[in-house]
Amino acid sequence: MKIHVLGGGAWGTALAINASHNASAHSTHHVTLWVRNAEQAADMQMHRENRRYLAGIALPESLHIHATPLPQWVDTLSSNDLLIIATPMSALREFLTALRDCKASIAWLCKGFERPLQESKGLLAHEIQALVAPNLRSGVLSGPSFAQEVATRQPTALVAASTHADVREALVTAFHNPSLRVYANEDIVGVEVGGAVKNVLAIATGLCDGLQLGLNARAALITRGLAEMTRLGIALGAHAETFMGLSGLGDLVLTATGDLSRNRRVGMALAQGKTLEEATQMLGHVAEGVYSARTVVQRAQGLGVQMPIAQCVVDLLDGRLHAAQAVQQLMARYPAAETFAAM
């Protein structure tokens, strides 16, 4: 199998590194990392390292790195190839449009909602694909995973979601190995909702930790955040049980508690009195929760789903609430029964 990873950021590079190690056990596997910036590709080729995003982690010699423009090679892909789009959500529409006639199986790694375009609502990745490239055989690879740990082959479990059985099978075949377990799932809606909403909730738990509110408060936020995520997912057509799995509870726990979580670090910085601009500049990477929070709440409101934690994050990001006020607002809500349907 020829595996093409499109995107030279931390996550795309990490997955390409892991797949290249896996390729040694599968002589038919061939892994290529396509980098948009020619200078970055040349630097990675020379130093055998992604010094910008994964400094200190060697690139396997078997990993091929190229910067050939997309139109020049996409027509060479066959139905037996696997193409992984490892770009931020903001670039997904562009690449799916360019790949709309591609014969290969395609999966994306990005998590979040697209920013609304003109008067349209913000879309999940599979909704974008259905709109601009409806004939693609596609899916998503998601789950609790920090790029650095995947690149260094620390134990990780992911979920491959698609309505196409052959796409799920291709993802499992390409990436399942002793350090990376890949589980198949048909519920692409649930997997994508989990991956999008957990980033927003991680900002809230970062705020909680930054204010030193304690472990009780963090546990409450994670648990009630999971209920919000589930309610939105069900309203969008997902299966409730998906949120008890890797892309729901698993990814939420990791992103809400892990020190490598960019979204959690945004929340902690806001708790320390930094502006949103200062918080995001400190990261040097994309924190998808910052861009997805408003769309999450807008989609929820359109479906009649209340998400008080996500709403507080939006009010915090937009400057309508200070950190302490956000906590007070959540704690002042009226009592309710503990169910996923509780408002």
Q: What is the mean pLDDT of the chain?
A: 92
Model pTM above 0.75: yes
Q: How far is CA 343 from CA 224, 274, 314, in A?
A: 10, 31, 18
What confidence score (pLDDT) does residue 222 get? 95
Hey, which of 10-24, 228-242, 288-302 has the most confident mean pLDDT? 228-242
Quick one: CA torsion of 127, 113, 173, 177, rounded to 10 degrees?
-170
Section 52-71 average pLDDT: 91
342 pLDDT more than 50:
no
Predicted confidence band of residue 338 (pLDDT cuts 50, 70, 90): confident
Residues 232, 133: Cα–Cα separation, whole Å = 25
Q: What percent of the chain has pLDDT over 70?
A: 94
Alpha helix (H) residue ranges in 176-307: 188-210, 215-235, 251-257, 262-271, 276-283, 288-302
Q: What is the pLDDT of residues 213-225, one digit of tens each?
A: 999 999 999 999 9
- Nearest-angstrom CA–CA distance, 53 and 49: 9
Q: What's residue 337's pLDDT?
A: 66
Distance CA 156, CA 180 (A): 5
Higher pLDDT, 330 or 291: 291
Look up 111 and say whether it is catalytic.
Answer: no
Query: What's the rounded mean pLDDT across residues 1-5?
Result: 94
Catalytic-labelled residue, pool 2, 121, 198, 274? 198
pLDDT reported for residue 343:
43
pLDDT greater than 90 at residue 226: yes
